Amino acid sequence: MSAFHSVVHRAKQKRYSFLMKQTILSGSTVTGNLTLGNYIGAIQNWKKMQNDYDCLYFLADLHALTVSQDPKVLRERTYSFFAQYLALGLDPQKNIIFAQSHIHQHTELSWVLTCLTPLGFLNRMTQFKEKAEKNEKNVNAGLYTYPILMASDILLYQADLVPVGEDQRQHLELCRDLVGFFNNRYGAGILKMPQAFVSKMGARIMSLQDPTKKMSKSDENEKNFVSIIDDEKKIEKKIKAAATDSGTEIKYDVDNKAGVSNLLTIYSTLSERPIADLEKEYEGKMYGHLKVDLAEVVIQTLRPVKAKHDELMRDRAYLDKLLNAGAERAQARAQKTIASVYEAVGLLPRQLF
């Protein structure tokens, strides 16, 4: 084989390898900031996944509107969320990263799916009931129908796999039901049936003040989580104020010492040291010693992330350039799906002159 044909052969292999990759789509509402729990539990694995899967990540700014938002704050958080993704190592060349609102096909497909969704299916959504109780002054139709927009997000890109937590499994099941409804009425093959993606997750990081709950970026109490862009003094203060347990022994015991166990899990994961080694090191020492050292480990880990985030936030033109590039790549895929859907349901194609 000549050198030229060898290069062509390798290029074809690379192309076929890309085409064979399964598509994963994940979106996160742009409220709050990503936390240490997000970093340890998921995002470290996202960096590995970007080499093995066709990954799309979107900034769910439309979903954020189900709760009253200050426009200036929402705009700033969307930029910041994007910068956080990049600062954590997500490559905009290997992944497609975009703002949900930049792709008008999300809302177009959502309306088609809304017209297929039985009212009773939405009435069963437990998250609506929970969120309605928390937002009694703003129980809007968007809060009620947003699982349909979520289905649109997934189906628009023909996603094979969708990472979901327990709180979102019901929404994925609705999405799968809608594929069935659509296929039964208009024919199979237009919308792909997605599957839940169970990745090799990192350690489960719990709330600093209530270690029986998972650390969450939407927690109203800032003391419960460490944001990946918190300043160093704030990180130190939060770690030192973290809930511990009765007694003084620094030992991993989730049932009886949930607070200390959570701190040891964070320390072990970030330092890549076995928990057993940490237990030996802090034998006979006080909780305060553990917290001081852990705060330093967290600060050292997040310092370059915050520095990169802050650098990116100073160059909005660069962020806009990357967001536009991501939107172009996403829209090319989205348009193929919406064109097939419109054809199937009988809507006229737009004639361009």
131 flagged as catalytic: yes
CA pair distance 333, 143, nearest whole angstrom: 27
302: left (phi over 0), alpha (psi -120 to 50) or beta: alpha
**Cα–Cα–Cα angle for 149, 317, 81, nearest 5°?**
40
> Which of the residues 214, 238, 291, 306 is marked catalytic?
214
> Which of the residues 217, 223, 251, 336 is marked catalytic?
217
Q: How many residues does the chain have?
A: 353
DSSP assigned state of 231: -
State residue 214 phi and psi, 5-degree precision: -70, 140
> Which of the residues 131, 192, 308, 336 is marked catalytic?
131
Helices then strands, counting H and E runs in the chain, come out as: 15, 5
**Cα–Cα–Cα angle for 35, 302, 218, nearest 5°?**
10
**25 Cβ contact list (under 8 Å, min separation 6):** 55, 56, 57, 58, 153, 154, 157, 159, 161, 162
Q: Are 98 and 323 a contacting pair, CB within 8 Å?
A: yes
Among the listed residues 202, 200, 203, 215, the one whose alpha carbon sits nearest the alpha carbon of residue 265: 203
237 flagged as catalytic: no
Is 305 exposed, middle or buried (CB count within 10 Å of its CB: 0-12, 13-18, 19+)? middle
12 flagged as catalytic: no
Q: Work out the number of other CB atoms within 10 angstroms of the CB of residue 311.
A: 13
CA pair distance 51, 151, nearest whole angstrom: 26
Any idea which residues carry the catalytic annotation?
Answer: 131, 214, 217
